[in-house]
Structure 1
Amino acid sequence: MNKNTISAAAVIVGATALALSAPLSASAHITASATSTAAGSYSVITFSVPHGCEASPTTAITIDIPEDILSVTPTRNTFWTFDRTMVPLDPPTDDASERTSQVIYTAITPLPSDARDSFELSVKLPMGEAGDVVEFPVTQTCEEGQELWVGEDVPSITLTAAEGDGHGHGGGHAEESEAEAETAAADAVPASSTEASGDVLARVLAGAGLIVGAAGLAFGITARRKAAK
């Protein structure tokens, strides 16, 4: 195999590596996945934090709660403390006069920039139409710098149609629904994880195809040169 053949193969392999690595790095932002997306249902939403601010460890995660979510129960995390920001409800409901507008997780020990962690909130999703997007803006505070996960990068879930009377339970049924949601969170595999795995597999297979093609191209060029001689 001559130098030209080797160079051609190296270019194709390098391009394949870039094609595989670029989408992976671009997708490395804070995401949200839910045990239930049915409008009005109780759901445990998991916020996954895959990295710090560039090379700086994460010290706090602040999750903004949409106005139409009135019930929020944070899950404890061994390495973090949490607090809530409460605001008055206007008008108040029969059950509450205020709501949680933010949940703030503060690191006991900063999360290294090359490590990941996750945070769970049990919420009652708002009523809405299938396809409505519920956004949870997140502020990631680091030892140096800050990342605002908003706009196109905002963690969000998409509502599906309401199921039965899941949106109209009273107190006792609501507690049962929330407990069921928390139990489901322990057993369920977040949809975003499955989608991400499938996406990575597709890129790996595509990259393998390009590498095989590069090998075939190199072999063909070599064979033609030998025939010409």
Structure 2
Amino acid sequence: MTRNTRTRRLRIAAAGVLGGAALALAVPVMAGAHVGVSPDELAAGDHGVLTFSFSHGCENSPTTALRITMPEGLASVAPTMDSDWNIQVERGDDGLVSAVTYTAVTPVPTDLRGAVSMGVGLDESTPATLAFPVVQECVEGSTEWTQLAENGEDPHSLDAPAPVVSVTAAAAAGHGEHAETNAAEDGTAAAAVSDPLGVALGAGGLIAGFAALVVAILAYRRRA
């Protein structure tokens, strides 16, 4: 084997290693690229603030806007004012918010985290899952985060999953227990204040004890 042949093979092997390493690094980045929502769980009949965040653009192109479509089952939607974003609200025939578009005052670079938020209200009939399809607009191109997992399908296997919020049952029992505890404490305090006889007897006992102590000291001084 000549020296040139050996050198050429070494270069090919090195290129293969570097290419494999680049692919290994790119796969986690691609898999982790998505628009997330926090918190991802709310209670039926409750209110909360949802934050939609991202830390990438459309194939390394800065993000210019997020259009978030509202699911059925929301009683109210109130986008959060933010000086970094211009906000446009769309409403349906029923007057409820159907979509919100956040347009960045300055495009968000791919190496910076961007986030927008909104307050939402749920009622007792809100479904168990709320999906928020998002269209991410960039300086060049766009990405539609709209995929939903089928029954038994792993959401992490989707290429462009939509942010999803789970809805749990209303925690009425917890509020009831809290109310009962407060009522019991208030009743105890009221009983203590509203018993003047007990207060008077306690004060009388304290005075009698003090008087006995004075008498004992005086008697001791006389004997001395």
Match in the other structure for 2:169: 161
Whether contact under 8 Å (1:50, 1:117) holds in the other structure is yes
Match in the other structure for 1:181: none
Aligned length: 146
Distance 1:149 1:38 in 2: 24
Deviation at 1:36, TM superposition (A): 5.5
Whether contact under 8 Å (1:70, 1:100) holds in the other structure is no
Larger gyration radius, structure 1 or structure 2: 2
What pairs up with 1:26-41 in 2 under 5 angstroms? 26-34=31-39, 37-41=42-46
Name the CA shift for 1:17/1:59 in 2 (closer, same or farther; >3 Å): closer
Say yes or no: does 1:124 pair with 2:132.
no
Question: Structure 1: which 5+ runs fail to align?
Answer: 1-13, 90-97, 167-229
Q: Provide, for residues 144-180 of structure 1, a one-character-per-residue CA deviation record: whole Å limited to 9, x for no partner.
A: 10100011400011111112199xxxxxxxxxxxxxx
Q: Which runs of 4+ in 1 moved over 6 A?
A: 14-21
Deviation at 1:111, TM superposition (A): 0.9
Say yes or no: does 1:49 pair with 2:45.
no
Name the CA shift for 1:17/1:51 in 2 (closer, same or farther; >3 Å): closer
Whether contact under 8 Å (1:63, 1:102) holds in the other structure is yes
User: Structure with the greater relative contact order (CA < 8 A, sep ≥ 6): 1 or 2?
Assistant: 1
Distance 1:20 1:44 in 2: 34
Whether contact under 8 Å (1:129, 1:161) holds in the other structure is no
Distance 1:36 1:82 in 2: 25
Q: CA RMSD in A?
A: 2.9
Name the CA shift for 1:15/1:116 in 2 (closer, same or farther; >3 Å): same
Q: Provide, for residues 68-114 of structure 1, a one-character-per-residue CA deviation record: whole Å limited to 9, x for no partner.
A: 2130111122211101001111xxxxxxxx11001110111111122
Identical-residue share of aligned pairs (%): 41
Whether contact under 8 Å (1:59, 1:141) holds in the other structure is yes
Choose the corresponding residue for 1:134, options 124, 130, 136. 130
Q: Provide, for residues 5-51 of structure 1, a one-character-per-residue CA deviation record: whole Å limited to 9, x for no partner.
A: xxxxxxxxx99997787445402200111286111210111101111
Question: Structure 2: which 5+ runs fail to align?
Answer: 1-18, 149-160, 175-224
What pairs up with 1:7-156 in 2 under 5 angstroms? 22-34=27-39, 37-89=42-94, 98-128=95-125, 132-152=128-148, 153-156=161-164
Letter in 2 for 1:160: T
TM-score of the two chains, using structure 2 as the length reference: 0.57
